[in-house]
Each structure stands twice: as structure tokens, then as C-alpha cells.
């Protein structure tokens, strides 16, 4: 007979060399050291554990691990600090443009789901069970809500008449009114640590100065309806026996419709266009039970009555350590070297079985250190380069400014020169004739020209005298009485 070969499991394997045996602490100080690391104000170990065991784990394992972490904090009387830290992370990671406050896959909601299943289920069942049981009764089976508010029809898919619609509306109003009254009247069944949680959330919102109107009320309404009531209504078959055993599909439609109606009635997206909701809203008695519950929780004084059970704390510690040992390698990736070594000692893992991993971590640390130094030097160089660029830009601006001033002065000089040429035209001639000749040369030439002009004038006067004399001599008579002309003859 051949042995059957099974396909390999798709579950994530545990580390090879780490035994996932139940850890029995021999030293009583081990738990104290672990609690000191876990409950420290810097939340380094808590951040690493939540990243490894909840956020980066498969869905079923994440749910189980979230329950273990939540119960460990609860049994040590520190549950409020856990939710306060998770809510502050939610507040810091929240976007500004989203219509809802909470992210569906956030760490806070994963922890809160386990908290609601553990501590709020009695209150929720007491308040919702009568309405849900009446909703899934066979007498109400004739109403089928297959695709939301706009398609109200019978089982035979015929159109609703006015009387049938009125009967359906009265039935739904009666269920919602009954549910709201029970939620308000049973708020005294809520545990005191839930009031402390809501008061802490209110204090965080006010300390961060979230600038929105009635922010505490809107956050609590979303948390209460979308993430407290809705999971129970969606999974009603787990808590109400026989809820969906008969006519499963129609009952599932009714439950989903009832859940979405409650959410839409108290959501910020409820618009006047939703005629169906605005028709039933005035008919509901106590339409806003969330306001009554929130007022009760904020006014309730919290008294610490919980006594720490040492045996239960050690049992939780042993269970928690087994989970950490199974995920030790992934957890170490989120921890500094010193805290990682302390955690290895606390969970009882031998160092030699992690030699290869320690070598890998040492190599990665060296690479990270080199990268940090490189980034530091690059940042310095970039800063120097930016400073130099700024200086160059400043000098360029100054140069452009001076160049503009120079161009302006040159233009002004050109305009003045043009005006001077237009107003004094003889200056150009004088400049060409005299201003370019030195004064001594000019004086010499001036004297020479004066001398020459005098000589010319003297010669001219002498010549003119001779000619005059000669002319008069032609007509002069001699002593004999004959003229000069006769004598020539």
C-alpha cells in the first residue's frame, strides 16, 4: 500500500530552527523585563509586534493575534493605553479628503473588533436580538429587499402597491424604533472601561484641535453604527440560532437592508434625495440613540475596580511568547539591534540558531550605516550647492540691476547730447575747426595770416599809387607847352 502524498500547505511556515513549544519561564524577572519593553512609552516593541502579528499576517492569524494582544493588555490593566496609542496612529494617518474618519483596515479597528466581540456582545444582543428575531420571522418573509431601497418587491417580483408599501414602512419604523429604544435603555449594561475608552478618544480629538463641528459625536456615531452594530447584524446567524436557517437568501437581504438603513440614517452622507429615509425619519421614536449613549459615557466617572489576576497574566504571557517565537524573524526586522537581542533572550531562543540571520542583520546594518553616511554627505553637498546657487542668483540679479542702471544712464547721456546738438548747431563747426588744433599752433597761424594780410594790403597800396602817378603823368604838360603825348610823337 503506497503512502499518500499530500500537497504542501499554503500556510506561512514557522522559522525552521525555532521550536514553537510552550515557554515556561524559569526566572520570574523575565516577565517583568518583557512587560517593561512592551509597556514602554516609546512603544517600539508594540509597534513591531502589531506590524508583524496583525497588519502583515493573514486574516485569520491577524484576528487571533489581535485578540491575544488586546487580552494581554486588558489583564494587565493597560487596555486603555493600547487603544489610545492605536487611535492616535489612526488620527495621524487620516487623510483630509475622506468622508469617513476610520480606515476599514486600520490597526485600531482590528483591535476594536476583538474588543467589541469580547466585552460589548451582551449589550448588543440584549438590544438588537428582539428586532432581528422579528425581522427574520416567517411572517415577514413576503417582503423581499433584493437590491436596496429602490427595489421593494414581493417574492413573486410584482410591484408594491400603496397599501403594501405603507405596511412595509410601518413594519420597518416599528423595528428601528424598538432597536433605538433598547440601545438607549440598556446603555447602563456597557462596561466601565468602554466609557474610559470613549472619554480618552474625546480627549485626544480635543487635544489635537480637530477643526470640525461635533467631531466627537460624528466619530462615535461612525464607530458605534458602522463598526459595533453592523458586524453583529451582518453575522446574525452566529449569535441568533435559526436566524437564517429558513429562507436564507431573503433573510440575508433583510438583514443587510436593515443594517444599511441604520447606517444611512446616522451617517454624514444622508442627503435629502434619499426620500425613503426622510419619509421614515419623523416616524421613528428616539431617532438618535447615539446622542443619549454618548452623553451617558462621557459623564460616567471611571473607577478602577479591576484587580490583576497573576495566574491569568502568566498564562497570557506564555501564550503570547509562543506567538512571538513563531514570528521572531519578522519581528526582529522592525526592532533596533539592542531591543532585538533582548527579545531573543526573553523568548528563550538560542542565539546560535540565528547565526545566519544575525550575519544578515549585521550586513544590512553595515549597509544601512553606509547609506546613512552617504545620505548625510549628499545632503551636505546639496545644501552647499543650493547655497552657491542662491549666491549666483543673487549676483545675477545685482548684475542685471546694474546693467539696467548703466543702460539708463547711457540713454540719458544720448538724449542730452541730442538736445545739445539741436540747441547749439555752431558748436559742431567750431569744434571741427578750432577745438581740435592746439592753442599755440592756432595763435601762430593767426599771426602769420595777419602779417600776410598786412603785406598784401601794403603792396596793393603801393601799386595803386604808381598806377595813379602814371595815369596823371599822361596828362602832364612839359615846360614847352607840349603835352607828353606830343613829346612822344
The predicted-structure confidence for 162-194, as pLDDT tens digits, reads as follows: 777 778 788 888 888 888 899 999 999 999 899
Q: Give which of 299, 302, 353 is closest to 328, Cα–Cα.
A: 353
Q: Give which of 303, 337, 320, 377 is closest to 50, Cα–Cα.
A: 320
Rounded average pLDDT over 66-94: 90
Rounded Cα distance between 128 and 27, Å, is: 48
pLDDT recorded at residue 1: 42
Following DSSP, what letter does each residue of 359-396 receive, concatenated?
HHHHHHHHHHHHHHHHHHHHHHHHHHHHHHHHHHHHHH
Q: What is the pLDDT of residues 238-297, one digit of tens each?
A: 777 766 666 677 778 888 888 888 888 877 555 545 567 777 788 887 778 888 899 899
Q: How far is CA 167 from CA 172, 180, 289, in A?
A: 9, 20, 25
Residues whose CB falls within 8 Å of the CB of residue 125, separated by 6 or more in sequence, listed in order: 232, 239
| Mean pLDDT, the chain, integer | 76
Q: What is the DSSP letter of 150?
A: T
Greater confidence (108 vs 465) lies with: 108
Percent of the chain with pLDDT over 90: 23
**Does position 474 have pLDDT exceeding 90, yes or no?**
no
Greater confidence (118 vs 487) lies with: 118
Rounded Cα distance between 262 and 256, Å, is: 10
pLDDT recorded at residue 38: 92
Measured in whole angstroms, the distance separating CA 169 from the mean position of its chain's CA atoms is: 44
Residues whose CB falls within 8 Å of the CB of residue 149, separated by 6 or more in sequence, listed in order: 257, 261, 274, 276, 277
pLDDT recorded at residue 10: 38
Rounded Cα distance between 66 and 52, Å, is: 11
Rg (CA), the chain: 53
Locate 424 and state its grid cell. 547749439
Q: Which residues pair with 383 in a beta bridge?
A: none
Q: What is the pLDDT of residues 411-430, one digit of tens each?
A: 888 888 888 877 765 555 55
Rounded Cα distance between 221 and 212, Å, is: 15
Rounded Cα distance between 20 and 5, Å, is: 25
Confidence grade of residue 52 (pLDDT, cut at 50, 70, 90):
very high
Buried b (16+ CB within 10 A) or exposed e, 14-44: ebeebeeeebebeeeebbeebeebbeeeebe
Sequence ranges of the domains in the chain: 78-305, 354-423, 431-464
**What is the architecture, at CATH level 2, of domain 78-305?**
Orthogonal Bundle (1.10)
Q: What is the pLDDT of residues 117-138, one digit of tens each?
A: 999 999 998 998 888 888 877 6
Q: What is the DSSP letter of 282?
A: G
pLDDT recorded at residue 330: 84
pLDDT recorded at residue 108: 92
Residue spans of beta strands (DSSP E) within 86-173: 143-144, 153-154
**Does position 48 have pLDDT exceeding 90, yes or no?**
yes
Half-sphere exposure of 59 (CA within 13 A, CB side): 1
Asked if 152 contacts 168 with a C-beta cutoff of 8 angstroms, the reply is: yes
Q: Could you tell me the pTM of the whole model?
A: 0.64
pLDDT recorded at residue 400: 92
pLDDT recorded at residue 235: 82
pLDDT recorded at residue 205: 86
Collapsing DSSP to helix, strand or coil, 43 comes out as coil
Amino acid at each position: 500500500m503506497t503512502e499518500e502524498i499530500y500537497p504542501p500547505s499554503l500556510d506561512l511556515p514557522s522559522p525552521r530552527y525555532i521550536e514553537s513549544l510552550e515557554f515556561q519561564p524559569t526566572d520570574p524577572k523575565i516577565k517583568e523585563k518583557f512587560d517593561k519593553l512592551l509597556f514602554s512609552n516609546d512603544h517600539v516593541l508594540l509597534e513591531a509586534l502589531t506590524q508583524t502579528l496583525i497588519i502583515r499576517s493573514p486574516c485569520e492569524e491577524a484576528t487571533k493575534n489581535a485578540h491575544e494582544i488586546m487580552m494581554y493588555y486588558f489583564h494587565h490593566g493597560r487596555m486603555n493605553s493600547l487603544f489610545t496609542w492605536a487611535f492616535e496612529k489612526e488620527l495621524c494617518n487620516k487623510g483630509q479628503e475622506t468622508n469617513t474618519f476610520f480606515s476599514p483596515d486600520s490597526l485600531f479597528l482590528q483591535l476594536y473588533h476583538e474588543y467589541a466581540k469580547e466585552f460589548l456582545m451582551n449589550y448588543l444582543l440584549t438590544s438588537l436580538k428582539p428586532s432581528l428575531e422579528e425581522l427574520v420571522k416567517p411572517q415577514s418573509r413576503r417582503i423581499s429587499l433584493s437590491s436596496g431601497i429602490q427595489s421593494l418587491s414581493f417574492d413573486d417580483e410584482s410591484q408594491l402597491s400603496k397599501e403594501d408599501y405603507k405596511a412595509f414602512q410601518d413594519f420597518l419604523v416599528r423595528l428601528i424604533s424598538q432597536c433605538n429604544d433598547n440601545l438607549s435603555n440598556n446603555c447602563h449594561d456597557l462596561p466601565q472601561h468602554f466609557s474610559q475608552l470613549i472619554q480618552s478618544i474625546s480627549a485626544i480629538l480635543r487635544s489635537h484641535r480637530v477643526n470640525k463641528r461635533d467631531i466627537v459625536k460624528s466619530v462615535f456615531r461612525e464607530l458605534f453604527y458602522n463598526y459595533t452594530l453592523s458586524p453583529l447584524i451582518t453575522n446574525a446567524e452566529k449569535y441568533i440560532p435559526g436566524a437564517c436557517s429558513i429562507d436564507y437568501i431573503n433573510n440575508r437581504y433583510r438583514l443587510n437592508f436593515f443594517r444599511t438603513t441604520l447606517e444611512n440614517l446616522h451617517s454624514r452622507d444622508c442627503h435629502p434625495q434619499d426620500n425613503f429615509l426622510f419619509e421614515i425619519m419623523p416616524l421613528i421614536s428616539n431617532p438618535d440613540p447615539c446622542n443619549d449613549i454618548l452623553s451617558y459615557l462621557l459623564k460616567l466617572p471611571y473607577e478602577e475596580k479591576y484587580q490583576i489576576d497573576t495566574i491569568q497574566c502568566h498564562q497570557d504571557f506564555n501564550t503570547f511568547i509562543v506567538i512571538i517565537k513563531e514570528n521572531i524573524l519578522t519581528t526582529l526586522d522592525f526592532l533596533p539591534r539592542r531591543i532585538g537581542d533582548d527579545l531573543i533572550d526573553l523568548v528563550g531562543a538560542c542565539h546560535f540558531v540565528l547565526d545566519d540571520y544575525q550575519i544578515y542583520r549585521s550586513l544590512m546594518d553595515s549597509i544601512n550605516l553606509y547609506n546613512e553616511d552617504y545620505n548625510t554627505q549628499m545632503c551636505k553637498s546639496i545644501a552647499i550647492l543650493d547655497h552657491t546657487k542662491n549666491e549666483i542668483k543673487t549676483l545675477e540679479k545685482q548684475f542685471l540691476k546694474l546693467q539696467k542702471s548703466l543702460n539708463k544712464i547711457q540713454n540719458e547721456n544720448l538724449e542730452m547730447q541730442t538736445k545739445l546738438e539741436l540747441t547749439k548747431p555752431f558748436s559742431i563747426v567750431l569744434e571741427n575747426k578750432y577745438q581740435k588744433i592746439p592753442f599755440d599752433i592756432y595763435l601762430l597761424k593767426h599771426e602769420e595770416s595777419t602779417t600776410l594780410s598786412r603785406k598784401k594790403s601794403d603792396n596793393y597800396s603801393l601799386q595803386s599809387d604808381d598806377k595813379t602817378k602814371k595815369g596823371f603823368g599822361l596828362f602832364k604838360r612839359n615846360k614847352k607847352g607840349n603835352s607828353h603825348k606830343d613829346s612822344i610823337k
